[in-house]
Structure 1
Amino acid sequence: MSRLAVLFKIDDQELENLKKQKKDDMYEYMLENIENKYLRTDRAYELNKAWEGIHFCINEGFWIETEHIPDNIIFGGEFLLDHNNYVITLKKPSDIKLIVEYLKENNIQDIIKKNFNKIPENDYSLPKDEENLQFLLEWGEEILDFYKGAMEENFNVIFTVDI
């Protein structure tokens, strides 16, 4: 159970190819054709295990899965895959524009600091302590820049995690 998450910028053709995959094959296809190609490039934003805490903070301590701002910044969005502990969600260019606008007005670091204590300990897989708060702040630091890049290049963004 790795729980490591990554956001990837993908073009329309890559999205179309991903959507053509059967549920049982989609995550493996993503690993081979997207992650292997883009991990550790500007087309990927690694969230490590911080994605869960950042998502809770963005949603003021609640776990919300929708296609609306701010719920879709990390985990939410259109679910392409939620099968066998693999999740892939999609943010389209129109969503990304709204995400960028939201994050310009709402600093992610401030959101994390303000809402960290609202994360319900029983629902959270990591310890709620000062070290974890710093972990979330570090891994969330450049989310706005990542989404700005996706918006400027008219990419889609997928969130991927092996839960």
Structure 2
Amino acid sequence: MAYEPSGRPAPEPRWLSSAQQRAWRAYMDGGQRLLAELNRQLQRDSDLSLDEYRILVLLSESPTRSLRMSDLADGVLSSRSRLTHQIRRMEAQGTVRRTSVKEDGRGVLAHLTEEGMHRLRTAAPAHVTEVRRNFIDLLTPDQIAVLAEVFERVDKEIIAREGR
């Protein structure tokens, strides 16, 4: 029998049914394989990691082509310290630069450079082809809609529990 830290007996876990276990494992295996394949393609064709590509995309979608580091960390689902190391490497490549936020002096902005925009534009066509080949084109429009709904809900619930 398992026990809680208080010493009380822990309740029995709600084990997954066969169908739930199948769905969970399919998500884990397929998701990891898909991200690994997309990362390999970006590395091979553009010398960018999937993480770097995502950062460049988020910065390119901002009207000012810049974001506070804290907002960028939330957007790429990364810790701030991990993102800081990533941005430092990308600065060395010339794809981003950092500046202080003028309004408060404490915040830091990450900016997409012209080199970063060029690398993103160069990488995007082959990347979207791989996203289509390995994901979008394998599914029906209804399946795509269900996946969007499911993971928007998962994301929303986890964010709500975190209090963000």
Q: TM-score, normalised by structure 2?
A: 0.30
Write 1 or 2 for the structure with the bigger share of strand: 1
Q: TM-score, normalised by structure 1?
A: 0.30
Write 1 or 2 for the structure with the bigger share of helix: 2
Higher relative contact order (CA 8 A, sep 6+): 1
